[in-house]
Amino acid sequence: MHMDGGDSRYEVTPLIAAAHELKAPLALVRQLALRLEDTHLPKAERQRLLRQTILTTERALRLTSDLTKSARLEDALFTVEPINPEQLCRDIVAELTPLFEAYGREVAIEGRKHPLLLVANRDLLRRILLGFSDNALRYSLPGTAVHMQIKAFKKAGIVRIGVRDYGPALSSDMWRSLQKKLRHAPQTIHARPESSGLGLYIASQFADAMNGRIGAIRHKDGATFYVELQASMQMSLL
């Protein structure tokens, strides 16, 4: 055991990382269920614990679904199509709002005056953005809003969708560790402070499958995780 948290003896496979990532929600669900066994709990508290149990289970199931999808990426054919990212983000905001509200946070989209289209597989892009949003929920401060942002880089023909959270600034060490996670497979459990990087690894695989890439921007009050994909030329042909 190394007290500096830098033990690199363990090579963590995606399987081990997945087991580790699922431990936290399963442990939480178990704690909530054990508390629900208390017959003296007030009704409102019982309802709150039940709601938390359901939402935590849904988060864990999203991860298992992403893992399955990620493992089968090479065997599958993906249809890419022109997609309006703003509409997709609106759907995601609607889906995640109950979870964010239960945690005392908001999720919102920064709308655009002029609509954009990008080329992507709708399901994979949705999974990437759900993963970024889940990550933002964890690292944002209570009472803050997570923002989904869409930006066009016209010269490069790229559209970037970012998920911006507002929380404590990332230290330089954490930033370097994060950059590693963006480039490589899941890191050793002891080499990272709070997550195995599995979510980023999966997001990176999904982006690769669509000829896109993921990245991160460090802010003094949080971070933005983004995915970049090819812009669709369809609008310009109209």
Partner 1 sequence: MTRVLVVEDDTWLADSHGAVLQNAGYEVETIPHPLAVMDAIDAVLPDVIILDVLLGGATAFALLNELQSHSDTQAIPLVLCTNLAEQLAEVQLEAYGVKRILDKTTMHPDDIVAAVKAVAE
For partner 1, which stretch binds (CB under 8 A), given 65-73, 106-114, 176-184, 190-198?
A: 190-198
Stretch binding partner 1 (CB under 8 A), from 120-128, 134-142, 175-183, 221-229: 134-142
What does the alpha-carbon distance between residue 238 and residue 236 come to, in Å, rounded to a whole number? Answer: 6
How far is it, in rounded angstroms, from Cα 12 to Cα 111? 40
Name the one range near partner 1 by CB under 8 A: 74-82, 118-126, 135-143, 214-222.
135-143
H/E stretch holding 136: helix 122-139
Which of 170/214 has CB closer to partner 1? 170
| 52 interacts with partner 1 by CB under 8 A | yes
Residue 35 contacts partner 1 per CB under 8 A: yes
Distance of CA 114 to the CA centre of its chain: 26
When asked if residue 104 is in the footprint of partner 1 (CB under 8 A), the reply is yes
Nearer to partner 1, 42 or 75 (CB): 42
Q: Which is nearer to partner 1, 5 or 111 (CB)?
A: 5
Closest separation in Å from C-beta 113 to partner 1: 35
C-alpha span between 107 and 112 (Å, rounded): 16
Pick the binder of partner 1 from 73, 84, 103, 152 (CB under 8 A).
Answer: 103
**Tokens representing residue 26 in the block:** 């399963």
According to the binding rule CB under 8 A, does residue 189 interact with partner 1?
A: yes
**For residues 128 and 199, what is the distance between their CA atoms, to the nearest angstrom?**
9
| Least distance in angstroms from the C-beta of 92 to partner 1 | 21
Interface pick for partner 1 out of 16, 20, 84, 122 (rule CB under 8 A): 20
Give which of 165, 168, 167, 170 is closest to 108, Cα–Cα.
165
Give the 3-state secondary structure of residue 8: coil
Distances (CA, A) of 31 to 26, 27, 46, 55, 101: 9, 6, 13, 14, 21
- Using rule CB under 8 A, residue 98 touches partner 1: no
The pair of structure tokens assigned to 42 is 């007030």
